[in-house]
């Protein structure tokens, strides 16, 4: 038996050497640059799979969303190709109401998951557009960029890589990937399309489409679309008048450095 074992071991060793497929050394170099989170945002199962496809020319050097422009430029240098500079995106949550500020229509008893709760008559909240607050987005984030505070996700923009896993995890499509420059921007953190009275009854922080922001904005950056205020970032000069005058605090200041600051809620 010992002899047979030795013979089989020798056979397998020889076969391994003969059949071994040499990996392109550039794959290992690219792997050292990639984040290594295996987040899947690139469409591949792992960073190693992406690196192999990049070397083969089947995937562009800017396929790693989480790595951003810096990673793309380094990979382009390894492969000897050019990489276009693209604007990085970060996750943005379009709901600014804490759990204590949202009205409930019932008490949910079940799996503590947004996906599960939303399947049961749309969840326990009166607002059909609000954050359910069970943290599916936090669980999906591989970069520790999301934490929960009083039933509301807090996105640390400095850590967010824009991988999009939180976007996929939210059953109410409240998170989107948006370009956020270094300069602070004012954003509407509400998604309710209900009319004013109904929206305010369901949530203390809801946009009630009162139109005050439209009237006071000196740059014509605010408008009301489908009962919801919208800020055109092309016209917005970040003066902050709209946030100061909003009666419900539905307009917040957002910055990569400051994460998200609310003018009404005392900060997030």
- The DSSP string of 21-60 is PPPPHHHHHHHHHS------TTSSSSHHHHHHHHHHTSS-
CATH at residue 69: 1.10.15.40
In a domain, 154, yes or no: yes
Same domain, 154 and 223: yes
Q: Is 16 inside any structural domain?
A: no
What domain range includes position 42? 23-86
Residue 8 lies in a domain: no
On whether both 101 and 80 belong to a single domain, the answer is no
Q: Is residue 7 domain-resident?
A: no
**Tell me: the pLDDT tens digits for 24-81?**
899 999 999 999 989 988 989 999 999 999 999 999 999 998 888 889 999 999 999 8
Residue 154: which of 172, 138, 132 has the closest Cα?
138
* Same domain for 94 and 76: no
Residue 181: per-residue pLDDT:
72
In a domain, 101, yes or no: yes
At residue 257, does pLDDT exceed 60?
A: no
Beta strand extents in 146-266 (DSSP E only): 146-149, 152-155, 175-179, 185-188, 222-225, 228-231, 251-255, 259-262
The CATH code of the domain that includes 220 is: 3.30.70.20
pLDDT of residue 92 exceeding 80, the answer is yes
**Banded model confidence at residue 148, pLDDT cuts 50, 70, 90:** very high
Alpha carbons 96 and 98: distance in angstroms, whole number: 7
Over range 118-127, report the average pLDDT. Answer: 93
Residue 21 has a pLDDT of: 55
Higher pLDDT, 79 or 14: 79
**Residue at a domain's end among 36, 63, 86:** 86
Asked if 131 and 101 sit in the same domain, the reply is: yes
Same domain for 37 and 166? no
Q: Is the pLDDT of residue 261 over 70?
A: no
Q: List the structure tokens of 37.
A: 């989170």
Q: How confident is the model at residue 263 (pLDDT cuts 50, 70, 90)?
A: very low
Q: How many domains does the chain have?
A: 2
- Would 14 be classed as within a structural domain? no
- The pair of three-digit structure tokens given for residue 249, joined into one six-digit string: 């605090």
Q: pTM above 0.75?
A: yes
The answer, yes or no, to whether residue 256 has pLDDT greater than 90, is no
Confidence of residue 260 (pLDDT cuts 50, 70, 90): very low
End residue of a domain, out of 66, 86, 106: 86
Same-domain pairing of 171 and 254: yes
Whether 168 maps to a domain, the answer reads: yes
pLDDT beyond 90 at 139: yes
Residue with the bigger pLDDT between 85 and 233: it is 233
Q: How would residue 264 be classed by pLDDT, with cut points 50, 70 and 90?
A: very low
Question: Is 184 found in the same domain as 160?
Answer: yes
State mean pLDDT over 206-231. 97
Find, among 68, 85, 83, 84, the residue nearest to 33 by Cα.
68
Confidence of residue 184 (pLDDT cuts 50, 70, 90): confident
Rounded Cα distance between 187 and 155, Å, is: 14
105 lies in the same domain as 172: yes
CB 180 within 8 A of CB 87: no
User: Is the domain of 102 the same as that of 234?
Assistant: yes
Q: Give the whole-number percent of the chain exceeding pLDDT 90.
A: 70
82 and 61 within one domain: yes
Look at residues 39, 69, 86 and tell me which one is the last residue of a structural domain: 86
Mean pLDDT of 223-232: 97
């Amino acid at each position: 038996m010992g002899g047979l074992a030795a013979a089989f071991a020798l056979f397998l060793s020889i076969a391994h050497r003969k059949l071994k497929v040499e990996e392109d050394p550039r794959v290992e170099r690219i792997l050292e640059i990639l984040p290594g989170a295996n987040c899947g945002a690139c469409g591949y199962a792992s960073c190693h799979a992406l690196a192999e496809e990049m070397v083969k020319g089947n995937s562009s050097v800017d396929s790693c969303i989480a790595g951003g422009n810096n990673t793309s430029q380094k990979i382009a240098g390894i492969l000897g190709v050019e990489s276009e500079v693209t604007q990085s995106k970060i996750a943005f949550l379009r709901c600014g109401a804490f759990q204590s500020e949202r009205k409930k229509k019932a008490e949910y008893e079940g799996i503590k998951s947004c996906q599960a709760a939303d399947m049961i008559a749309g969840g326990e909240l009166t607002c059909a557009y609000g954050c359910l607050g069970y943290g599916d987005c936090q669980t999906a984030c591989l970069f520790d960029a999301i934490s929960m505070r009083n039933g509301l996700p807090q996105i640390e923009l400095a850590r967010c890589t824009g991988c999009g896993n939180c976007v996929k995890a939210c059953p109410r499509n409240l998170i989107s990937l948006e370009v956020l420059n270094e300069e602070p921007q004012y954003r509407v953190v509400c998604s309710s399309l209900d009319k004013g009275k109904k929206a305010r009854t369901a949530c203390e922080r809801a946009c009630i489409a009162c139109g005050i922001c439209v009237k006071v904005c000196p740059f014509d950056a605010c408008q009301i679309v489908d009962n919801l205020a919208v800020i055109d970032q092309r016209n917005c000069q970040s003066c902050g008048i709209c946030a100061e005058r909003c009666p419900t605090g539905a307009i917040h200041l957002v910055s990569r450095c400051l994460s998200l600051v609310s003018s009404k809620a005392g900060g997030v």
